[in-house]
Structure 1
Amino acid sequence: MSCAETILSTLYSYTDSGGAGQDSYTVVPSSRISFPVSLVRFVTAHNTNILALCEVFVFGETNCPAGQFGLRCERQCNCANNGNCFVHSGGCPSGCAIGYTGEDCSECEAGRYGADCSLSCSSTCGGDNSCDRADGACSQGCDPGYTGTICATQCVAGKYGAGCSETCSVHCAGPGDPCNHVNGHCDNGCEAGYRRNKCDRGEI
Protein backbone atom coordinates (compact mmCIF):
# COMPACT_ATOMS: atom_id res chain seq x y z
CA MET A 1 0.00 0.00 0.00
CA SER A 2 1.19 3.53 -0.74
CA CYS A 3 -0.65 6.71 0.02
CA ALA A 4 -0.06 10.43 0.35
CA GLU A 5 -1.57 13.01 2.65
CA THR A 6 -1.88 16.55 1.30
CA ILE A 7 -1.90 19.27 3.98
CA LEU A 8 -2.19 22.80 2.66
CA SER A 9 0.95 23.18 0.52
CA THR A 10 2.91 20.44 2.32
CA LEU A 11 2.91 16.84 1.07
CA TYR A 12 3.35 14.00 3.53
CA SER A 13 4.07 10.54 2.06
CA TYR A 14 3.73 7.12 3.63
CA THR A 15 4.94 3.85 2.10
CA ASP A 16 4.02 0.47 3.50
CA SER A 17 7.03 -1.55 4.65
CA GLY A 18 5.77 -4.64 2.80
CA GLY A 19 4.80 -8.08 3.97
CA ALA A 20 1.32 -9.34 4.64
CA GLY A 21 -1.44 -6.79 4.46
CA GLN A 22 -2.98 -5.51 7.68
CA ASP A 23 -6.62 -4.97 8.54
CA SER A 24 -5.79 -1.59 10.06
CA TYR A 25 -2.96 0.86 9.43
CA THR A 26 -2.03 3.69 11.81
CA VAL A 27 -0.04 6.47 10.19
CA VAL A 28 1.48 9.24 12.33
CA PRO A 29 3.33 12.01 10.45
CA SER A 30 6.92 12.62 11.53
CA SER A 31 7.81 15.36 12.26
CA ARG A 32 4.40 16.10 13.70
CA ILE A 33 2.29 18.70 11.93
CA SER A 34 2.35 22.04 13.71
CA PHE A 35 -0.15 24.10 11.74
CA PRO A 36 -3.92 23.94 11.08
CA VAL A 37 -5.10 21.32 8.53
CA SER A 38 -8.20 21.91 6.43
CA LEU A 39 -7.87 19.13 3.85
CA VAL A 40 -6.66 15.53 3.89
CA ARG A 41 -6.44 13.69 0.55
CA PHE A 42 -5.30 10.13 -0.20
CA VAL A 43 -3.85 9.12 -3.57
CA THR A 44 -2.11 5.98 -4.81
CA ALA A 45 1.40 6.02 -6.14
CA HIS A 46 1.85 5.89 -9.92
CA ASN A 47 1.99 2.12 -10.30
CA THR A 48 -0.32 -0.84 -10.75
CA ASN A 49 -1.16 -1.20 -7.04
CA ILE A 50 -4.74 -0.55 -6.01
CA LEU A 51 -5.54 1.36 -2.84
CA ALA A 52 -8.80 0.18 -1.28
CA LEU A 53 -9.99 2.02 1.82
CA CYS A 54 -13.07 0.80 3.67
CA GLU A 55 -12.98 3.38 6.44
CA VAL A 56 -10.71 6.30 7.34
CA PHE A 57 -10.39 8.15 10.66
CA VAL A 58 -8.40 11.39 10.89
CA PHE A 59 -7.52 12.67 14.35
CA GLY A 60 -6.25 16.11 15.20
CA GLU A 61 -5.78 18.21 18.29
CA THR A 62 -8.05 20.96 19.54
CA ASN A 63 -7.37 24.56 18.57
CA CYS A 64 -6.51 25.58 22.14
CA PRO A 65 -6.98 29.00 23.74
CA ALA A 66 -3.91 31.22 23.89
CA GLY A 67 -1.29 29.96 26.33
CA GLN A 68 -2.54 26.35 26.50
CA PHE A 69 -1.77 23.11 24.69
CA GLY A 70 -2.37 19.36 24.80
CA LEU A 71 -5.05 17.00 23.53
CA ARG A 72 -7.57 18.63 25.84
CA CYS A 73 -5.79 21.99 26.19
CA GLU A 74 -5.02 20.96 29.76
CA ARG A 75 -1.38 22.10 29.81
CA GLN A 76 0.18 25.55 30.13
CA CYS A 77 2.63 26.95 27.56
CA ASN A 78 6.03 27.98 28.92
CA CYS A 79 7.12 30.38 26.21
CA ALA A 80 9.32 33.46 26.37
CA ASN A 81 7.38 36.74 26.59
CA ASN A 82 4.19 34.76 27.35
CA GLY A 83 4.02 33.68 23.70
CA ASN A 84 1.79 30.94 22.37
CA CYS A 85 3.07 27.40 21.84
CA PHE A 86 2.39 24.58 19.39
CA VAL A 87 -0.80 22.85 20.44
CA HIS A 88 0.62 19.34 19.94
CA SER A 89 3.93 19.62 21.77
CA GLY A 90 4.15 22.81 23.84
CA GLY A 91 7.17 23.93 21.81
CA CYS A 92 7.55 27.69 21.46
CA PRO A 93 8.35 29.63 18.26
CA SER A 94 9.55 32.49 20.50
CA GLY A 95 11.77 30.19 22.55
CA CYS A 96 11.28 28.91 26.09
CA ALA A 97 10.73 31.10 29.12
CA ILE A 98 13.60 31.32 31.60
CA GLY A 99 13.66 28.15 33.65
CA TYR A 100 12.40 25.91 30.83
CA THR A 101 14.09 24.03 28.00
CA GLY A 102 13.70 21.43 25.26
CA GLU A 103 11.33 20.99 22.34
CA ASP A 104 8.36 21.05 24.71
CA CYS A 105 9.77 23.78 27.01
CA SER A 106 9.68 21.57 30.09
CA GLU A 107 10.96 22.64 33.52
CA CYS A 108 14.69 22.57 34.21
CA GLU A 109 15.86 19.35 35.78
CA ALA A 110 16.94 19.45 39.41
CA GLY A 111 20.12 21.45 39.91
CA ARG A 112 19.74 23.62 36.79
CA TYR A 113 18.22 27.07 36.17
CA GLY A 114 18.20 30.11 33.90
CA ALA A 115 17.78 30.59 30.15
CA ASP A 116 17.65 27.17 28.48
CA CYS A 117 18.55 25.71 31.90
CA SER A 118 22.18 26.50 31.12
CA LEU A 119 23.25 27.37 34.69
CA SER A 120 23.88 25.15 37.70
CA CYS A 121 22.51 25.83 41.17
CA SER A 122 25.19 26.91 43.61
CA SER A 123 27.02 24.03 45.26
CA THR A 124 26.57 25.91 48.55
CA CYS A 125 22.77 25.89 48.41
CA GLY A 126 21.51 24.17 51.53
CA GLY A 127 19.73 20.81 51.77
CA ASP A 128 19.62 19.04 48.41
CA ASN A 129 21.27 22.00 46.60
CA SER A 130 18.04 22.79 44.75
CA CYS A 131 17.26 26.29 43.51
CA ASP A 132 14.56 28.30 41.77
CA ARG A 133 14.54 27.37 38.08
CA ALA A 134 14.22 31.01 37.01
CA ASP A 135 16.70 33.01 39.13
CA GLY A 136 18.79 30.35 40.93
CA ALA A 137 17.66 31.39 44.42
CA CYS A 138 18.49 28.54 46.78
CA SER A 139 15.27 26.77 47.79
CA GLN A 140 16.43 25.59 51.22
CA GLY A 141 18.72 28.39 52.30
CA CYS A 142 22.51 28.26 52.32
CA ASP A 143 25.12 25.88 53.62
CA PRO A 144 26.82 27.13 56.81
CA GLY A 145 29.27 29.92 56.06
CA TYR A 146 27.42 31.34 53.06
CA THR A 147 24.74 33.94 52.46
CA GLY A 148 22.89 35.74 49.65
CA THR A 149 20.12 34.74 47.28
CA ILE A 150 22.23 32.17 45.47
CA CYS A 151 24.50 31.51 48.47
CA ALA A 152 27.61 32.65 46.63
CA THR A 153 28.83 35.08 49.33
CA GLN A 154 30.93 34.00 52.31
CA CYS A 155 30.06 35.35 55.74
CA VAL A 156 31.67 38.70 56.50
CA ALA A 157 34.79 38.68 58.65
CA GLY A 158 33.95 37.86 62.22
CA LYS A 159 30.84 35.82 61.39
CA TYR A 160 30.34 32.14 60.62
CA GLY A 161 27.88 29.23 60.55
CA ALA A 162 24.27 28.81 59.42
CA GLY A 163 22.90 32.14 58.21
CA CYS A 164 26.21 33.73 59.25
CA SER A 165 24.57 34.17 62.63
CA GLU A 166 27.50 33.10 64.82
CA THR A 167 30.30 35.41 65.96
CA CYS A 168 33.94 34.41 65.98
CA SER A 169 35.70 34.21 69.34
CA VAL A 170 37.41 37.40 70.39
CA HIS A 171 40.35 35.23 71.44
CA CYS A 172 41.31 34.10 67.93
CA ALA A 173 44.89 35.13 67.15
CA GLY A 174 46.54 36.56 64.07
CA PRO A 175 45.58 39.01 61.31
CA GLY A 176 42.88 38.62 58.68
CA ASP A 177 39.60 36.80 59.20
CA PRO A 178 39.32 35.94 62.90
CA CYS A 179 37.85 32.49 62.20
CA ASN A 180 36.76 30.08 59.50
CA HIS A 181 33.50 31.27 57.93
CA VAL A 182 31.99 27.76 57.98
CA ASN A 183 32.83 26.22 61.36
CA GLY A 184 34.20 29.11 63.43
CA HIS A 185 37.60 27.53 64.01
CA CYS A 186 40.34 30.07 64.64
CA ASP A 187 42.58 29.64 61.60
CA ASN A 188 45.63 31.31 63.17
CA GLY A 189 45.38 29.74 66.59
CA CYS A 190 44.41 31.32 69.90
CA GLU A 191 45.58 34.18 72.05
CA ALA A 192 47.69 33.20 75.01
CA GLY A 193 45.63 31.57 77.71
CA TYR A 194 42.98 30.07 75.38
CA ARG A 195 42.65 26.77 73.60
CA ARG A 196 40.45 24.48 71.47
CA ASN A 197 39.43 25.06 67.83
CA LYS A 198 37.27 28.07 68.63
CA CYS A 199 39.52 29.44 71.35
CA ASP A 200 36.56 29.34 73.69
CA ARG A 201 38.24 27.63 76.65
CA GLY A 202 40.82 29.06 78.97
CA GLU A 203 43.94 27.03 79.61
CA ILE A 204 44.00 25.04 82.81
Structure 2
Amino acid sequence: MVVLSIFMFILISFTGHQGGNITHGEDYLVEPLPNRVKVALGYEVFEEKEIVLSEDDWQNAVLYTELVEPILNNNCVSCHNPKKAKGDLLLNTREGIETSGENAPVVMANHPAESDLFKRMELPREDDNHMPPDGKKQPSKEEIALIGVWIENGMSFDKTIGEMGLEKSLFASFFPKTIETDYPDKDVRPPRRTVSQRSKRSDFMWSLLAKLPTI
Protein backbone atom coordinates (compact mmCIF):
# COMPACT_ATOMS: atom_id res chain seq x y z
CA MET A 1 0.00 0.00 0.00
CA VAL A 2 2.87 2.36 0.87
CA VAL A 3 4.64 1.55 -2.39
CA LEU A 4 1.44 2.23 -4.35
CA SER A 5 1.00 5.59 -2.57
CA ILE A 6 4.58 6.58 -3.41
CA PHE A 7 4.09 5.52 -7.03
CA MET A 8 0.88 7.56 -7.30
CA PHE A 9 2.59 10.61 -5.77
CA ILE A 10 5.44 10.38 -8.28
CA LEU A 11 3.00 9.91 -11.17
CA ILE A 12 0.85 12.89 -10.13
CA SER A 13 3.94 15.08 -9.63
CA PHE A 14 5.30 14.11 -13.06
CA THR A 15 2.04 14.73 -14.91
CA GLY A 16 1.56 18.03 -13.06
CA HIS A 17 5.05 19.12 -14.00
CA GLN A 18 4.50 18.16 -17.65
CA GLY A 19 1.24 20.08 -17.67
CA GLY A 20 3.03 23.12 -16.28
CA ASN A 21 5.67 22.84 -19.00
CA ILE A 22 2.98 22.80 -21.69
CA THR A 23 0.98 25.66 -20.19
CA HIS A 24 3.73 27.99 -18.95
CA GLY A 25 6.93 26.81 -20.64
CA GLU A 26 9.72 24.49 -19.52
CA ASP A 27 11.27 27.09 -17.20
CA TYR A 28 8.09 28.16 -15.42
CA LEU A 29 9.48 27.07 -12.05
CA VAL A 30 12.69 29.05 -12.60
CA GLU A 31 11.11 32.20 -14.05
CA PRO A 32 10.35 33.93 -10.68
CA LEU A 33 13.87 33.34 -9.31
CA PRO A 34 16.41 36.20 -9.02
CA ASN A 35 18.84 36.48 -11.95
CA ARG A 36 21.86 35.46 -9.85
CA VAL A 37 20.10 32.21 -8.89
CA LYS A 38 19.19 31.51 -12.53
CA VAL A 39 22.84 31.99 -13.52
CA ALA A 40 23.98 29.61 -10.74
CA LEU A 41 21.54 26.99 -12.07
CA GLY A 42 22.98 27.34 -15.57
CA TYR A 43 20.15 29.34 -17.14
CA GLU A 44 20.94 32.19 -19.54
CA VAL A 45 19.76 35.55 -18.25
CA PHE A 46 18.70 38.43 -20.46
CA GLU A 47 18.98 41.68 -18.57
CA GLU A 48 15.99 43.97 -19.02
CA LYS A 49 16.76 47.06 -21.07
CA GLU A 50 15.31 50.38 -19.98
CA ILE A 51 13.25 52.22 -22.59
CA VAL A 52 13.42 55.99 -22.15
CA LEU A 53 13.36 58.65 -24.85
CA SER A 54 14.79 62.13 -24.44
CA GLU A 55 12.29 64.99 -24.73
CA ASP A 56 14.94 67.10 -26.46
CA ASP A 57 16.34 64.49 -28.83
CA TRP A 58 13.56 61.94 -29.44
CA GLN A 59 13.51 62.41 -33.22
CA ASN A 60 17.13 61.27 -33.50
CA ALA A 61 16.45 57.95 -31.76
CA VAL A 62 16.72 54.90 -34.04
CA LEU A 63 13.29 53.30 -33.70
CA TYR A 64 14.47 49.69 -33.79
CA THR A 65 17.62 50.06 -31.67
CA GLU A 66 16.17 52.23 -28.90
CA LEU A 67 12.58 50.97 -28.73
CA VAL A 68 11.68 47.85 -30.72
CA GLU A 69 14.80 45.86 -29.83
CA PRO A 70 14.44 46.50 -26.06
CA ILE A 71 10.73 45.56 -26.21
CA LEU A 72 11.59 42.24 -27.86
CA ASN A 73 14.53 41.69 -25.50
CA ASN A 74 12.43 42.33 -22.39
CA ASN A 75 9.45 40.22 -23.41
CA CYS A 76 10.36 37.69 -26.10
CA VAL A 77 14.06 36.87 -26.36
CA SER A 78 14.16 34.64 -23.26
CA CYS A 79 12.22 32.05 -25.31
CA HIS A 80 13.54 32.91 -28.77
CA ASN A 81 17.34 32.91 -28.68
CA PRO A 82 20.11 30.65 -30.01
CA LYS A 83 20.06 28.44 -26.87
CA LYS A 84 16.28 28.21 -26.64
CA ALA A 85 14.57 28.83 -29.97
CA LYS A 86 10.91 27.95 -29.40
CA GLY A 87 9.17 27.44 -32.72
CA ASP A 88 12.58 27.76 -34.41
CA LEU A 89 12.18 31.50 -33.97
CA LEU A 90 15.05 33.87 -33.11
CA LEU A 91 14.20 37.40 -32.06
CA ASN A 92 17.60 38.58 -30.85
CA THR A 93 19.00 39.58 -34.27
CA ARG A 94 17.80 41.23 -37.45
CA GLU A 95 18.46 38.06 -39.47
CA GLY A 96 16.48 35.98 -37.00
CA ILE A 97 13.51 38.35 -37.11
CA GLU A 98 13.47 38.41 -40.92
CA THR A 99 14.07 34.74 -41.69
CA SER A 100 13.55 32.36 -38.74
CA GLY A 101 10.47 30.55 -37.47
CA GLU A 102 8.46 27.47 -38.37
CA ASN A 103 6.19 29.63 -40.52
CA ALA A 104 8.74 32.30 -41.47
CA PRO A 105 8.61 35.16 -41.92
CA VAL A 106 6.85 36.21 -38.69
CA VAL A 107 6.93 39.83 -39.80
CA MET A 108 5.88 41.36 -43.11
CA ALA A 109 7.00 44.92 -43.73
CA ASN A 110 4.11 47.42 -44.01
CA HIS A 111 1.56 44.75 -43.01
CA PRO A 112 1.24 44.32 -39.23
CA ALA A 113 -2.14 42.59 -39.59
CA GLU A 114 -0.40 39.85 -41.61
CA SER A 115 2.64 39.62 -39.32
CA ASP A 116 2.42 36.67 -36.94
CA LEU A 117 4.63 38.39 -34.37
CA PHE A 118 2.25 41.33 -33.99
CA LYS A 119 -0.96 39.31 -34.32
CA ARG A 120 0.02 36.95 -31.49
CA MET A 121 0.95 39.82 -29.19
CA GLU A 122 -2.45 41.42 -29.79
CA LEU A 123 -4.47 38.31 -28.97
CA PRO A 124 -6.22 38.11 -25.55
CA ARG A 125 -4.07 36.50 -22.87
CA GLU A 126 -6.48 33.60 -22.49
CA ASP A 127 -6.00 32.67 -26.17
CA ASP A 128 -3.69 29.66 -26.58
CA ASN A 129 -1.89 31.43 -29.45
CA HIS A 130 -1.18 34.60 -27.45
CA MET A 131 2.48 35.48 -27.11
CA PRO A 132 4.26 35.82 -24.76
CA PRO A 133 2.48 32.87 -23.10
CA ASP A 134 0.58 33.32 -19.86
CA GLY A 135 2.97 33.35 -16.90
CA LYS A 136 5.66 35.25 -18.81
CA LYS A 137 6.38 38.97 -18.61
CA GLN A 138 3.91 40.80 -20.85
CA PRO A 139 4.54 43.91 -22.97
CA SER A 140 2.35 46.95 -22.29
CA LYS A 141 -0.37 47.91 -24.77
CA GLU A 142 1.81 50.90 -25.79
CA GLU A 143 4.73 48.58 -26.53
CA ILE A 144 2.55 46.24 -28.60
CA ALA A 145 1.16 49.22 -30.52
CA LEU A 146 4.71 50.41 -31.22
CA ILE A 147 5.65 47.03 -32.70
CA GLY A 148 2.70 47.51 -35.06
CA VAL A 149 3.84 51.05 -35.92
CA TRP A 150 7.35 49.79 -36.66
CA ILE A 151 6.08 47.07 -39.02
CA GLU A 152 3.53 49.37 -40.65
CA ASN A 153 6.21 51.92 -41.45
CA GLY A 154 8.56 49.64 -43.34
CA MET A 155 10.18 47.70 -40.46
CA SER A 156 13.41 49.67 -40.71
CA PHE A 157 16.37 48.57 -38.58
CA ASP A 158 18.40 51.76 -38.93
CA LYS A 159 16.12 54.77 -39.54
CA THR A 160 15.49 57.37 -36.86
CA ILE A 161 12.03 58.37 -35.71
CA GLY A 162 12.48 61.70 -37.51
CA GLU A 163 13.49 60.01 -40.77
CA MET A 164 10.38 57.84 -40.59
CA GLY A 165 8.19 60.93 -40.05
CA LEU A 166 6.43 59.56 -36.97
CA GLU A 167 4.46 61.79 -34.61
CA LYS A 168 5.62 62.50 -31.07
CA SER A 169 2.28 61.38 -29.60
CA LEU A 170 3.11 57.75 -30.52
CA PHE A 171 5.92 57.81 -27.96
CA ALA A 172 4.25 59.63 -25.06
CA SER A 173 4.58 56.67 -22.68
CA PHE A 174 8.32 56.35 -23.33
CA PHE A 175 9.34 59.81 -22.12
CA PRO A 176 10.56 60.28 -18.52
CA LYS A 177 7.68 60.64 -16.10
CA THR A 178 7.43 64.02 -14.35
CA ILE A 179 5.59 64.55 -11.09
CA GLU A 180 3.54 67.74 -10.98
CA THR A 181 2.06 69.31 -7.86
CA ASP A 182 -0.11 72.34 -7.14
CA TYR A 183 2.39 73.71 -4.67
CA PRO A 184 4.45 76.79 -5.69
CA ASP A 185 8.18 76.33 -6.16
CA LYS A 186 9.31 78.59 -3.30
CA ASP A 187 11.75 78.33 -0.45
CA VAL A 188 10.08 77.60 2.87
CA ARG A 189 11.06 80.01 5.62
CA PRO A 190 11.63 78.68 9.13
CA PRO A 191 8.59 79.18 11.39
CA ARG A 192 8.46 82.21 13.66
CA ARG A 193 8.56 81.77 17.41
CA THR A 194 5.25 80.76 18.87
CA VAL A 195 3.52 82.72 21.62
CA SER A 196 4.54 80.11 24.19
CA GLN A 197 8.18 80.33 23.10
CA ARG A 198 8.15 84.15 23.38
CA SER A 199 6.47 83.87 26.78
CA LYS A 200 9.13 81.48 28.06
CA ARG A 201 11.88 83.81 26.83
CA SER A 202 10.20 86.75 28.59
CA ASP A 203 9.85 84.80 31.86
CA PHE A 204 13.52 83.83 31.68
CA MET A 205 14.59 87.46 31.23
CA TRP A 206 12.43 88.62 34.16
CA SER A 207 13.91 85.91 36.40
CA LEU A 208 17.39 87.15 35.55
CA LEU A 209 16.45 90.74 36.29
CA ALA A 210 14.93 89.73 39.60
CA LYS A 211 18.25 88.23 40.68
CA LEU A 212 20.23 91.43 40.01
CA PRO A 213 21.28 93.28 43.16
CA THR A 214 19.36 96.45 43.89
CA ILE A 215 21.23 99.78 44.34
Q: TM-score range by the shorter chain?
A: under 0.3
Whichever structure has more helix as a proportion of its residues is 2
Q: What's the TM-score once normalised by structure 2's chain length?
A: 0.21
- Identify the structure with bigger relative contact order (alpha carbons < 8 Å, sequence gap 6+): 2
